[in-house]
Amino acid sequence: MWTNVSDQSAGNPLKSHAVLGLGGVGGLIATLLSAGGHSVTAVVRSDPHEHMDVSLERPDGAIVRGSVRSVTALDGEIDVLWVTPKATQLRDALRAVSSLRPRLVVPLLNGIDHMPVLRDAFGSDAVVPATISVETEKLAPGRFRQSSPFINLTLAQNAKAVLAAATQTLAGFGVDVRYIDDEQTLLWSKLVFLAPLALTTSAAGEPLGYVRETPEWRERLETAVREVAAVALACGASVEAHGALELIGRAKPGMRSSMQKDVEAGREPELDAIGGTILRAARAHGIPVPTIEDLIERTRARVAARAASAS
């Protein structure tokens, strides 16, 4: 389902931004937009500030600095709401903006199942399919670090005009902004890359370099990519395994997925949003995905072992 955002905002530039969730991704978006002169309000869980300094450490050591207003709840009208919590925290986070009326909603979450949730909350015409690929983390309140050399932001083609000012600012900070005019292709293109990387590093408990260099783990990684690509094609997406494998091959060997970091830190990983999405779609289309199933179970076992050791 595509929204008519170009019509609803034509000739009326989008100036005010709210970021729901000030973790790694939310902090990156808030910092870059505010550093570029945009008005940004961050919706946080606690400790709000009328003036909050934010900073982003780049891979080359440079620091980008900005300033946002932070609140624990937001209502009324806003131009753009960037939705960035973990999928496991989305429904709780939405309570803080339940009365908000954004003209545009840009979700930067993993998976696919958040799309109907957001459309139910804000209306189909407001929600723009989008994904972001970057390795980033929150170091402290207001302090964020980008570890990957890339930031890839993909948006629905019909949001190009209305988000022009924001994407121009982001591109000025090195964000690679791309547009795709098919929702299934847009969303599954990230999953074909992300899910195998996240599940193998989490199941192995090792960074990407180990997975690529260890024969049995490399085989799992490549098979997982092919399985996800098959499911994506059945769902109507135009994706291919070869492209995802090339991206994974170019990533830094020390790269650790956010799922792996969550498992190691004892936080709830996004197993359902990433792995569960694939399993449900695979079953709906009768496609076997034994490697994905095995990686999910191995990751669950690591989560259980971590919980047992902490108790």
Number of domains in the chain: 2
Domain termination site, one of 129, 149, 169 = 149
* pLDDT-based confidence at residue 6 (cuts at 50, 70, 90): very low
Closest CA to 204 of 270, 274, 299, 293: 299
Query: What pLDDT, in 10s, does the model give residues 56-75?
Result: 999 999 999 999 999 999 99
Query: Residue 298 — φ and ψ, nearest 5°?
Result: -65, -40
Does residue 175 sit within a domain?
A: no
Statement: the pTM of the whole predicted model exceeds 0.85: yes
Domain termination site, one of 99, 123, 149 = 149
Does residue 188 sit within a domain?
A: yes
Tokens of 125: 């015409």
Across-strand partners of 68?
52
pLDDT at residue 13 above 50?
yes
Query: What pLDDT, in 10s, does the model give residues 239-261?
Result: 999 999 998 998 889 999 999 99
Range of the domain at 294: 184-310
Q: Is 235 helix (H, G, I), strand (E, B) or coil?
A: coil
Tokens of 181: 């005019």
Does residue 248 sit within a domain?
A: yes
* pLDDT-based confidence at residue 310 (cuts at 50, 70, 90): confident
Does residue 105 sit within a domain?
A: yes
Report which of residues 14 and 238 the model is more confident about.
238
Considering the domain architecture, whether residues 219 and 106 belong to the same structural domain is answered as no
Residues in the chain: 311
Report the b/e string of 248-279 with b at 16+ CB within 10 A: beebeeebbbbbbbbbeeeeebbbbbbbebbb
Considering the domain architecture, whether residues 142 and 194 belong to the same structural domain is answered as no
Does residue 90 sit within a domain?
A: yes
Considering the domain architecture, whether residues 38 and 135 belong to the same structural domain is answered as yes
Query: What pLDDT, in 10s, does the model give residues 34-50?
Result: 999 999 999 999 888 89
* pLDDT-based confidence at residue 15 (cuts at 50, 70, 90): confident
Give mean pLDDT, residues 119-138: 95
